[in-house]
Chains A and B, each alone.
Chain A
Amino acid sequence: MENFDLLLHGFTIVLSVNHIALMVGGVLLGILVGVLPGLGAPNGVSLLLPITFGMAPVSAIILLSSIYWGALFGGSVTSILFNIPGEPSSVATTFDGYPMAREGRATEALATAFGSAAFGALVGVVLITCLASWIAHAALEFGPAEYFAVYFLAFSSFIGVGGTPPMKTVVSLAIGFAIAAIGMDTISGSVRLTMGVDELVKGVSFVVAVMGLFGIGELLIAVEEELHAKPVASRIDWRTLFRTLAGLPKHWVALLRSAAIGCWMGITPGGPTAASFMSYGIAKRVSPRRANFGKGEPEGIVAPETADHAAGTSALLPMLSLGIPGSATAAVMMGGLMIWGLNPGPALFIEQKDFVWGLIASMYLGNIVAVILVLLTVPIFASLMRLPFFILAPLIFIVCVVGAYSVSNSYLDVVLMMGFGVLGYLFKKLDYPLAPLVLAIVIGDKAEDAFRQSMLMSEGSLGIFVGNKLVTTLVVAGFALLLLPPLLRTIGVLRRPR
Chain B
Amino acid sequence: MISRRALEALTAGLTGAFGVAVVVSSFDNGIGWSTAGVESGTFPLIVGSIVLAGSLYNLVRGWLRGTGIVVERAGFRRTLALLLPAVVFVAAIPLTGLYVASAVYLFCTLHLQSRLSTVRALAIALVATGALYLVFERAFQVSLPHGLLGAWLDL
Contacts and interface: CB of A to CB of B under 8 A. Distances in A.
Interface string B18-52: 11011001101100010011111101100110110
Nearest to B129: A398
Contacts of A393: 82
A170 interface: yes
B75 interface: yes
Q: Is the interface of B mostly helix, strand, loop or mixed?
A: helix
Contacts of A286: none
B54 interface: yes
B69 to A, nearest CB: 11
Contact of B105 (A165, A398, A427): A398
B41 A402 contact: no
B37 A456 contact: yes
A406 interface: yes
A394 interface: yes
Interface stretch (A65-73, A177-185, A242-250, A317-325): A177-185
A418 B132 contact: no
B71 A181 contact: no
B122 interface: no
A277 interface: no
Interface stretch (A110-118, A222-230, A346-354): A222-230
Given A193-B26, A411-B94, A423-B14, A174 B58 contact: no
A401 B74 CA distance: 26
Nearest to B15: A171
B38 A174 contact: no
Contacts of A174: 19, 47-48, 50-51, 54
A442 to B, nearest CB: 15
Interface string A142-185: 00000000000000000000000101101100110110010001
Contacts of A178: 18-19, 22, 44, 47-48, 51
A430 B8 contact: yes
Contacts of A427: 11
A490 B11 CA distance: 27
A398 B47 contact: no
Nearest to B16: A171
Interface in B68-113: 70-71, 74-76, 78-79, 81-83, 85-87, 89-90, 93-94, 98, 102, 105-106, 109-110, 113
A411 B93 contact: yes
Given A174-B54, A390-B114, A406 B136 contact: yes
Contacts of B38: 451-452, 455-456, 460
Nearest to B113: A390
B7 A430 contact: yes
A395 B124 CA distance: 10
A50 B132 contact: no
A62 B111 CA distance: 41
B151 interface: no
A220 interface: yes
A209 to B, nearest CB: 13
Given A167-B58, A226-B78, A415 B124 contact: no
A491 interface: no
A192 B51 contact: no
A165 B10 CA distance: 17
A219 B132 CA distance: 20
Nearest to B82: A223
Interface string B105-138: 1100110011010000000100010001000100
B64 interface: no
A151 to B, nearest CB: 13
Contacts of B40: 185, 187-188, 190, 192
The 3 closest A-B pairs by CB, nearest first: A171-B54, A224-B75, A174-B50
25 contacts: A170-B50, A174-B47, A174-B51, A175-B51, A178-B18, A181-B47, A185-B40, A220-B82, A224-B71, A390-B109, A394-B82, A397-B86, A397-B89, A405-B98, A406-B144, A411-B94, A423-B14, A426-B11, A427-B11, A429-B71, A430-B62, A451-B43, A452-B37, A456-B38, A460-B33
